[in-house]
Homo-oligomer: A and B are copies of this chain.
Amino acid sequence: MNTSNRIKNVEFSPIRKLIPYEEEALKNGKTIYHLNIGQPDLKTPKEFFESIQEFNEDILTYAHSRGRSGLIDEMIKFYKKHFNVTYEYEDILITTGGSEAILFILLSMFDEGDEILVSEPYYANYNNFFDVLNIKVNAFAADPKTGFHLPNKDVIISKISSKTKAIMLTNPGNPTGVVYTQEEMKLIGEIAREYGLYIISDEVYKVFSYGENRAISFGEIEGIEDNVVLIESISKIYSACGARVGAVISKNKNLMNEIYKLCQARLSVSTLDMVGAEGLYKKLSDDYFEKNKIEYEKRRDIVYKGISKIPGIEVTKPEGAFYVMVTLPIDNAEDFCIWLLTDFHLNNETIMLSPAEGFYANKELGRNKIRISYCIEADKLEKSIKILELGLKEYLSK
């Protein structure tokens, strides 16, 4: 019996290749600082667990396919408060994490062979969903020298065909840390209107933008309400990745009605995770985001400052999320990432990085790049940068 062609299209995570080397390094007693993962290290707020403890229904029944109404209400308040956008009950469908939101949005917009427009580099995991649904990716390259901001309009529209259904962006960016300006977002809006495209905006890092760069939601841009659909998740903003709660948010009634069919098909989202999530939105004050933002911003500054001093490395200051893309003075960053695990250490410590190839449709563009995630404490980041610096020096002198 054969498996489907569509599942054969899907590739295992590019980081998978590094895991045997990681395991070997750990077996040899090395300490590894993981700069490769986007799993926040901040504690999940106790309000999550407390809310679940207060749940006192006898039967854990299927929740409403739209999600618990209390949670939807809290999300509505959150968007009003943080982005001054007014959503209604029908504009929000709770999903099992941002992942299910992505899958349901794609199923509702794309037939096989349809095309999606993305700015590369982009979150590698999207490819799994594109590939299994036979959606063709049209990527325009964002320039590392601009901090991965958008290229000009001509470059973007040159990638649009009659089969293009949507443009998908992550803002703040993973893996880039870019935070789009209002002008860029208006440009995307203009293109979406002109070519009749949906804008799929993955905003799961929304509260993490630093300095002057407040991350704007695509929901704030006027005149494109029917084009925009947002991907929401509590994973990053509340350090609650293991709670599978996300949402699809859009004012496009027709689209939401179609996506609701899929919500009905899968019956419901985890009741207790939704109860916990509702507690987070309801009980935590704005201080919570502010405090975490300060912590991540501090780390961002450590990483950026440290890395930009390393000879031969090219980097621009990331503006949001907790990632930075780095161009190395070597041809194949993956080889270097493996070598750091197998052949290098500083006081028996080394680092694990993400080779950036997997974040590109045009693999060649990513071959000399890595993504660094700063989801570890400041002192470990300092050590990690030292390891990167000395490791690179030794690697280049081989």
Contacts and interface: CB of A to CB of B under 8 A. Distances in A.
A254 B3 contact: yes
A270 B254 contact: no
Nearest to A264: B13
A381 to B, nearest CB: 18
A185 interface: no
Interface in A263-321: 264-273, 276
Interface string A197-237: 11000000000000000000000000000110000000000
Contact of A62 (B8, B103, B242): B242
A244 B269 contact: yes
A189 interface: no
A96 B129 CA distance: 17
Q: How large is the interface on A (under 10, 10 to 19, 20 to 34, 35 or more residues)?
A: 35 or more
Contacts of A96: 96, 100, 244, 266, 270
A265 B10 contact: yes
A192 B78 CA distance: 53
B62 A108 contact: no
A93 interface: no
B227 A261 contact: no
A27 interface: no
Nearest to A49: B55
A392 interface: no
A397 interface: no
A333 B128 CA distance: 44
Q: Which of A97, A227, A255 has the most CB of B within 10 A?
A: A97
A262 interface: yes
Given A3-B258, A4-B108, A60-B44, A243 B265 contact: no
A58 interface: yes
B39 A128 contact: no
Given A1-B165, A1-B197, A132-B261, 18 more contacts: A1-B109, A4-B107, A4-B111, A5-B111, A7-B107, A40-B59, A44-B60, A48-B60, A53-B53, A59-B239, A60-B239, A62-B241, A96-B100, A107-B132, A125-B267, A244-B268, A244-B270, A270-B272
